Amino acid sequence: MLRLLLLPLRAPLLLVLVGVAVYVGTSWHLAEPKTHGLLGLLGWVWSLDALHTLLVVVVCCMPVRLLRGITGLMATSQVVTLVLTLLIATLTALYLLRLHVLSRVLILGSAVLLARVDLARVRVVPPPLVLSFSLGLLVLVSGATGRWLVSRG
């Protein structure tokens, strides 16, 4: 338990990730929950900005599993590879530019990857699902803190 509490001191880029997530959380556009308590919290977690945040964390924490599935599909032919890559890149860029979240996604993705590198440096390498869940929870809580700070002011 003590090792987990000292982890931010051993891997300081986790604190940078928390700071970035708080900053990203300040720009989240959330509707006021209709219910209070746990149901209101669940409604907040399923907002579009929170889902974008979780998607960035999952993609950054599980690149091997995701790329293995895409690579298997692309191995059929070079034409499929080119068309699929072009389609994914174009649709993702258009979607992110339309929502004006491209910069936030890039900053958050970089912070998650730096935190993973720092965790690997101190030899804390949990399985990808555990890492994705724990960093996702850390980022969501930090983003909620940033949103709460903005709503108070």
Domain for residue 17, yes or no? yes
Q: How confident is the model at residue 34 (pLDDT cuts 50, 70, 90)?
A: low
Q: How many domains does the chain have?
A: 1
Cβ burial, residue 14 (10 Å; 0-12/13-18/19+):
buried
Domain for residue 95, yes or no? yes
pTM of this structure: 0.78
Domain for residue 116, yes or no? yes
Domain for residue 141, yes or no? yes
CB 1 within 8 A of CB 103: no
Range of the domain at 104: 12-152
Backbone angles phi, psi at 20, to 5 degrees: -65, -40
CB 10 within 8 A of CB 122: yes
- State pLDDT tens for residues 85-106: 788 888 888 887 777 787 888 8
- State pLDDT tens for residues 117-142: 999 999 998 898 899 999 999 999 99
CB 122 within 8 A of CB 11: yes
